[in-house]
Amino acid sequence: MFTGLVSDIGEVISVETRGSLRRIRIACSYSVESIAVGASIACAGVCLTAVDMGRMGERTWFDVDAAAETLSVTTLKDWIKGCKINLERALKIGDELGGHIVTGHVDGLAELISREDFEGQAKFTMRAPQNLKKFIAQKGSVALEGTSLTVNAVADDVFSVLLIPHTLAVTSWGATQPGDRVHLEVDMMARYAARLAEAG
């Protein structure tokens, strides 16, 4: 489980295909001693398992394996050396829950259709997949690229979020441009509410 509060920006430093798996090595500022084999780390909002780790100069690196299913429903298949991605360590009991509960299980890909920058902030307008639009509500929460954000407005499958200067500075969002696809995880509460409504 995660909170959607990004704690580091990682950099993809190598990608290796191993049969149906893709081994991805990510550099970060976490201490190598703090990462255990089997640890869950949200990488651009995708919960992945650290399978190896080490040091390279001043930076720590960790390896993750992306299976065929993950590659088919995320943008991981497009990651190349140099890609910058949002990272978050798994939530510990007693940690502050500053965002909202995020599982790291991506529901789909949203497309950025416009970006408006002003006063150091940025308004991002997104198009959600048709099957997910019912879970997105004004003032509700969404996780985009692993970032917990509040929905400002919704019209059918189009919704907008506002990123403040701090969020733009400490995440990969500063480089995101119209046409980019981003990982979308809808709010767990919205998912269960919709299911209960369908069940009558």
pLDDT tens per residue, range 128-144? 999 999 999 999 999 99
Sketch the domain layout of the chain as residue ranges: 8-89, 108-199
Q: Mean pLDDT over residues 90-99, rounded?
A: 82
> What's the chain's Rg over C-alpha atoms?
17
pLDDT > 70 in the chain, percent: 100
Mean pLDDT of all residues belonging to the chain: 94
DSSP 133: G
83 catalytic, yes or no? no
Same fold, 8-89 and 108-199: yes
CATH class label, 108-199: mainly beta
125 catalytic, yes or no? no
φ/ψ of residue 102, rounded to 5: -125, 135
Which CATH fold would you assign to the domain 8-89? Answer: Elongation Factor Tu (Ef-tu); domain 3 (2.40.30)
47 catalytic, yes or no? yes
Q: Mean pLDDT over residues 92-102, rounded?
A: 83
Tell me the pTM.
0.93
Question: From the candidates 20, 67, 169, 175, which is the catalytic residue?
Answer: 67
Q: How far apart are CA 200 and CA 193, in angstroms?
A: 11
135 catalytic, yes or no? no
Band of the pLDDT at 99, cuts 50, 70, 90? confident
20 catalytic, yes or no? no
